[in-house]
Structure 1
Amino acid sequence: MSYQPNVAFARLFRTFTSDPQSIGAHLTQQMAQQQADDPLLVSTGSDIVLFPGGGRAPTIESFRKSTRGFIELTAVSHLPLALAYLARMRELSPDDDTWLSDAARLRGHAQETRAANSVALWRDHVAVESFAGHEQKIANLVDYTCSVTIDLLERAERDPGLLTFARLNDEYFAATPANAVPMNDVMFATFGLAFLDIVYRIGNWLRAQALDWSRLMMLVSGQSGRPTAGVTWATNNMCYVVWCASNRVLLPERVFIAPHAPSFSVAELPDAAGMAELERTYRELWLNTRSSIDVARSLFPGQRPYHFDPAPADGMPPITSVDDRDATAARLRRIMEDPTQLLSNCVADYIVDQLYNNGNQPQKVDIPGFSNVTYPHAVQS
């Protein structure tokens, strides 16, 4: 027979915690009653929702796959990286032609994307406010990336030796800028443009809510990006985005990250009753976590209090100028090599700080790989 704890001890255990009628649960319920009017902000891997409190209806803003331009820019970001994956496939199994069929499929999609790309697409269809005035340059970037990649794929089908990391680094990813725009620039630029829109839009949305930041409860809920990523303030850039949107007055101690908590998406939202239940779940989670903090401050008044200082993406190499290619390439390597990082962390803190320091004017933000680079003018409106 498997071990079971003594019944009396188990009841004592549950009286304090892990039971709906426990002391801990009752304390959380009391806190919920007293703070029912406090605003609660919940960020998931793709959406952010504000529960204003007092039973009022929530408002939601998206910042990832369902937003304008995100898929388009991310697809272009991934195009160079796909070649690196093909090179790795060929390196691992040189006699397996899977890479060849994948390369042909990638080339076909790149050709379709190049044909679909235009200034009008970015100006009239994507129509993102933070890209205003840059539509021609974005179209040029896309055309250049597709053109160079299609050409390389066509040549690699005839000469597979082109798909080695040594050749790709010399001729594609880190190509000499005098001869070509390095694809490292393209990847950083497209990450930067996509995140610029996120920061600008989410920041404006948050400020429009006229929040009382001193009372705001914030929860980062569920998985963000890779299963191993974004589980701390330093690696989950939404913490930094919201903190800067608050003009850096939101108390970091009121931001909790719960990677195993329930998530949601705008594509599959519950009905009003379901949203109310979701709000109750989130409030209880936040308040249950907060309860031990409040108790500790009263229980151990003579001990040094814990103080948390917010920080941007953990240990990212500082970008000293818009031409600092060493730093941008180092950041690209870091976010791919460090499983705790969100992929967007290669640009997140830089873009947030740039937008903050430029008075929330996206047209004044300098993006390495974009602002300092001239792409061939190959697309007409």
Structure 2
Amino acid sequence: MMSYQPNAVFAGLFRAFTSDGQSIGAHITQQMARLDAKDPLIVSTGSDIVLFPGEGAAPLIESFRKSTRGFIELTAISHLPLALAYLARMRELSSDDETWRADAEKLLDHARRTRAENSVALWRDRISVDSFSGQEHKIANLVDYTCGASIERLERALADSALLGFEPLLRDFFDPKPGQGVPVPMNDVMFATFGLAFLDIVYRIGNWLDAQRIDWTRAMVLVSGQSGRPTAGVTWASNNMCHLLWRASGRLLPPERVFVAPHAPGFSIESMPDNAGMAELERTWRGLWLNTRSSIDVARRLFPEQPPYSVEPTSAQDMPPITAVGDRAAANARLRRIMEDPTQLLSNAVADYIVDQLHENGNDPRRVPIPGFTNATYPGPY
């Protein structure tokens, strides 16, 4: 039996409008590209921001994740307490499977070596991040404390596996009551390290964008490719780069000029193409943005009597507001939300709060109150 094929004449009519390099859709995109060649194009990928100034000028690139100073170091500490929770779940899933024990021993070795490597000099002289200036002693104490408490818990759990159950972990490690368990809850540690890492991202990216003197009213913005989990960050409210860029523009960037395109080509500075490859990426991204915009422009002219669709800038969809630096309940609720909601980027636990606080505090990272850090005293040798 032959498979069905659309009627060739009808298929020709279909392609005349779209789905063909010589279609009406392709031609209007090309026409818009010629008219808007001077407009700046900003593309945010999973790890970098690229600015194409327009008219073939060379792109400018700034990274904000793995290749930036301090990101891996802080994220490693964020992950350390969480790794114990994952080990607890492994043990809970199958009490006869000892895989958790081998992973615990490996994690223990990493934690010991990280604790030995940690120092004030590492944070001040080698990592040397502007937004952490003056906080290096406290960050070193945070790292020492987190490693030390995790090492102790792992050593005890390897001798008595019952200590790796969720009930004792919550009671003694993650969310102890005052005077019980560890002196600073590990939930606080996770929020604090998330906050510190994102503070640096917002501070650097905001300053970099400000230095470019972008005409935000004409900027074409594309949040391109996968960002975090495959299910996350596909809307303005769940992709914190939209809020970051809007605040960095001084709220001048029209929200309707920001498109989130999770299936568009990604980009990483670690695998940066040559000049010809970057030029091709710019053509692809501009074409995608303009093709999307053409539908909007036609709709506004075709249906003038109908209510318009309005894009409003939003941040952190339904995230519990943090009303004070000591609002532990809100911080913990945010941590649960971003782990439980597959549409959220993990950084959304802190993103909107950090972005707004930095702008409200005159772009001075030292004045930004970070729950779990600013209001905490981390015991340590430094």
Structure 1-normalised TM-score?
A: 0.99
The structure 1 residue matched to 2:249, chosen from 239, 246, 250, is 246
Give distance in 2, aligned partners of 1:271 and 1:149.
44
Distance 1:270 1:154 in 2: 47
The residue correspondences of 1:70-219 to structure 2 (distance < 5 A) are: 70-179=71-180, 180-219=183-222
User: Which string of whole-angstrom CA distances, capped at 9 and with x for unpartnered residues, describes residues 81-123 of structure 1?
Assistant: 0000000000011011100000000000000000000000000
Query: Is 1:6 aligned to 2:17, yes or no?
Result: no
Task: Kindly state the Cα deviation for residue 354 of structure 1 after the two structures are TM-superposed.
Answer: 0.3
Distance (whole Å) between structure 1 residues aligned to residue 10 and residue 58 of structure 2: 43
Kindly indicate whether residue 368 of structure 2 is the aligned counterpart of residue 365 of structure 1.
yes
- Cα shift at 1:310: 1.0
Within 2, Cα distance between the matches of 1:230 and 1:254?
Answer: 17
**Alignment partner of 1:320 is 2:323:** yes
Q: How far apart, in 2, do the equivalents of 1:177 and 1:370 lie?
A: 17
Report deviation, 1:305: 1.0
Q: 1:301 aligns with which of 291, 294, 304?
A: 304
Q: 1:277 aligns with which of 276, 280, 297?
A: 280
Match of 1:286?
Answer: 289
SS of equivalent residue, structure 2 residue 357: helix
SS of residue matched to 2:217: coil
The one-letter amino acid paired with 2:83 is A
Q: Give 5+ residue unaligned stretches, structure 2.
A: none
Give per-residue Cα distances to partners, 1:40-63, cap 9 Å, x unaligned: 000000000000001100000000
Corresponding residue number in structure 1 for 2:52: 51
Measured in 2, the distance between the counterparts of 1:69 and 1:95 equals 39
Measured in 1, the distance between the counterparts of 2:271 and 2:106 equals: 31
Runs of 4+ in 1 over 6 A off after TM superposition: none
Secondary structure of 2:3's aligned partner: coil
How many angstroms does 1:177 deviate by? 3.9
Count matched residues. Answer: 379
Alignment partners' CA distance in 2, 1:138 and 1:334: 26
1:172-222 CA distances to partner (integer Å, 9 max, x unpaired)?
000234451000000000000000000000000000000000110000000
How far apart are residue 335 of structure 1 and its match?
0.2
Amino acid at match of 1:233: W
Q: Distance in 1 between matches of 2:256 and 2:307?
A: 16
Which of 249, 260, 264 is 1:257 aligned to?
Answer: 260
SS of corresponding position for 2:49: strand
- The aligned counterpart of 1:17 is 18
CA distance in 2, matches of 1:161, 1:39: 58
SS at match of 1:307: coil
Q: TM-score, normalised by structure 2?
A: 0.99
Q: Give deviations 1:301-336, integer Å, cap 9, x for gaps.
A: 111111111110110001110010000000000000
Question: CA–CA distance in 1 between the matches of 2:252 and 2:159?
Answer: 59
The CA deviation at 1:347 is 0.1
Code of the residue aligned with 1:305 in structure 2: it is P
- Aligned to 1:42, the other structure's residue is in SS state strand
Return the letter of the residue paired with 2:174.
Answer: F
2:343 matched residue in structure 1: 340
For residues 158 and 295 of structure 2, what CA distance do their matches in structure 1 show?
61
Q: What does residue 34 of structure 2 align with? A: 33
Instruction: Supply the AA of the counterpart residue of 1:231.
Output: V
Shift of 1:337: 0.1
Query: CA RMSD for the aligned pairs?
Result: 0.6
Q: Distance in 2 between matches of 1:59 and 1:360?
A: 22
Q: Which amino acid aligns with 2:32?
A: M
Post-superposition CA distance 1:342-373 (Å, at most 9, x none):
00000000000100100100000000000000
* SS at 1:214 equivalent: helix
User: Does the residue aligned with 1:219 lie in a helix, a strand or coil?
Assistant: strand
Rounded to whole Å, the distance in 2 between the matches of 1:59 and 1:225 is 23
Give 1:293 shift: 0.4
- Residues 26-53 of structure 1: CA distance to partner in whole angstroms, max 9, x if unpaired? 0000000000110000000000000000
Task: Confirm whether residue 376 of structure 1 aligns to residue 379 of structure 2.
Answer: yes
Whole-angstrom distance in 2 between the partners of 1:320 and 1:165 = 29
